[in-house]
Amino acid sequence: MARLDALLAGFARERSTGALRVGRAGTIYLDEGRVTYMECAQTPSADRLLTINGRVSEEAMRAYQGGGGCGLMLEQSPVTQGELQFLVLGAVLDAAFFLLPVTGTRPKFHPGRQHWLGRQWFFDVAGLVRETARRRARLAQAWPRADLDTSPVRPAARLPGSRVTLSDVQWEVLVGADREATPLDLAGRLGRSGYSILLAVREMAAAGLLETGDPLPRRDRRTAEDRPPHDPGAPHLPVGPVVNADPLDLTLLMRLKKALEELS
């Protein structure tokens, strides 16, 4: 079965328009071969983030999804164009992180189907693959074992020292952890991206703030599942049409998100 990024490259060359459903994992929306949006069952969508953070009410969101669309939301709600753009970028990068490595599922394409946000922004497939690889590499660097990603978050009973410094995301994780919720459960509750919570959990594990079970393995003994699924140095697949709708803005936003992550 072809990798999902290779399949998307084929749709790009054919300039296909529609929705690619990846089993129960999520859906990828395309317009003339270009990715316009991704949603993943494991991570909060852009509309979910807007409602859980109080930017748009549940009732209003249903109206926008039912036919009002993105234009009506920008007209009637306090959400600005820039805020929505940044939010959609984060949601798509989050979904790509979990969807692109998916294997063992035969995706089904639904021609003509579009997301309710419409044709607002386009995402380069090769760029999404590179960002996914960068994020996985950073997770492995923070804590090289992947078992914490799917285990309940359990704060340590004692601090490893006399004081600690936490980022805002790490603080929210500690406050929200009930020793039963997994990192992705917390992402949905807190209105945060799944990746940001995974990274916070792994960094706190490295700082000794979480119960982690077995001792940390040596970095040169990482298993295959802990390594990035994509090789950042590998040749990039052709992706068909040139991205020509706000590509500069999206590139700058991706750089900004990366800088903010590194500062946190």
Q: What is the pLDDT along the chain (264 residues), one digit of tens a residue?
A: 568 888 998 998 999 999 999 999 999 999 999 999 999 999 999 999 999 999 999 999 999 999 889 999 999 999 999 999 999 999 999 999 999 988 878 899 999 999 999 888 899 888 898 999 999 999 999 999 999 999 999 999 998 888 889 999 999 999 999 999 999 999 999 999 999 999 999 999 999 999 997 656 544 434 434 444 444 444 443 333 333 334 445 566 666 666 565 555
Return the pLDDT at 258: 61
Q: Kindly state whether residue 232 falls inside one of the protein's structural domains.
A: no
Residue 160 domain boundaries:
145-216
Q: How many angstroms separate the CA atoms of 9 and 173, rounded?
A: 37
Please count the structural domains in the chain.
2
What does the block give as tokens for 74? 């920008």
Are residues 124 and 10 both part of a single domain? yes
Residue 221 makes CB contacts below 8 A (sequence gap 6+) with: none
pLDDT of residue 221: 38
Q: Which long-range contacts (CB under 8 A, 24 or more apart) does 55-63 make?
A: 55/79, 55/83
Q: What is the DSSP letter of 123?
A: B
- Asked if residue 58 belongs to a domain, the reply is yes
Distance CA 216, CA 202 (A): 11
Regarding whether 200 and 120 lie in a shared domain, the answer is no
User: Which residues are bridge partners to 37 per DSSP?
Assistant: 29
Whether 229 is covered by a domain: the verdict is no
39 and 129 inside one domain:
yes
The reply to whether 81 and 39 lie within a common domain is yes
Residues 181 and 205 in one domain: yes
Same domain? 172 vs 77: no
Domain for residue 110, yes or no? yes
149 and 58 part of one domain = no
Decide if 252 is inside a domain. Answer: no
Would 264 be classed as within a structural domain? no
Residues 48 and 169 in one domain: no
How many other CB atoms are found less than 10 A from the CB of residue 200?
26
The two tokens of residue 18 are 């529609």
pTM of this prediction?
A: 0.79
Q: How far apart are CA 120 and CA 103, in angstroms?
A: 29
Helix (H, G, I), strand (E, B) or coil at 9: helix
In this structure, are 70 and 189 located in the same domain? no
Kindly state whether residue 183 falls inside one of the protein's structural domains: yes
* Domain assignment present for 223: no
Q: Does one domain contain both 114 and 210? A: no
